[in-house]
Amino acid sequence: MRFVTAVFVAILATASDGAAARGIEPGQWQITTTMFSPILPGPQTKTGTQCVTPEDVKNPRRAIDKRLQSDCRAVSLRQSGDTYTWEVFCRQSGMSNKGTIRYGRGTMSGESRTTTNVTGEMLQMITKFSGKRLGPCT
């Protein structure tokens, strides 16, 4: 969940000034993630909240750095209309993550695919997520 939240905030932070008019705005967000992986006994679902501050939106580097592991870097973030795509790579672990997120007015949904090395084997995990803005940060 922490990784998805980091990417979520990073994408919010890369949004243009006009994006707030489309519903991408600071505030308290509820995010539900469901992870699928061959090493899990079944889908794992978790729901949590995240405060996205105006500072997060204004300063993308701050938003990314405070949530990603120190060796992880966003290597691409792209926007096309209300859809964002990204790619993150973590040097030490060799973990990579690619995903897509789509926003509506106060809502979001998306999917990411993570590949990482677990005890010498490459493992892929799919994470589906959705969220809604609950209001101002508490």
0.85 exceeded by the pTM? no
- Over the stretch 65-96, which tens digit does the pLDDT of each residue have? 555 556 777 777 777 888 888 888 888 778 88
Q: What is the pLDDT of residue 28?
A: 92
| Residue 20, pLDDT score | 41
Question: For the chain, which residues make up each domain, given as ranges?
Answer: 2-135
Q: For residue 64, what pLDDT is reported?
A: 52
Which contacts qualify for 106-115: CB closer than 8 Å, 24 or more apart?
A: 106/23, 106/25, 106/132, 106/133, 107/23, 107/131, 107/132, 107/133, 108/8, 108/29, 108/132, 112/4, 112/7, 114/3
Residue 59's alpha-carbon distances to 11, 17, 62, 116, 122, in angstroms, are 11, 12, 6, 29, 34
Q: Cα-flanking dihedrals φ and ψ of residue 133, to 5°? A: -80, 130
Low-confidence ranges of the chain (pLDDT < 70): 1-24, 56-70
* Structure confidence at residue 79 (pLDDT): 77
pLDDT of residue 40: 86
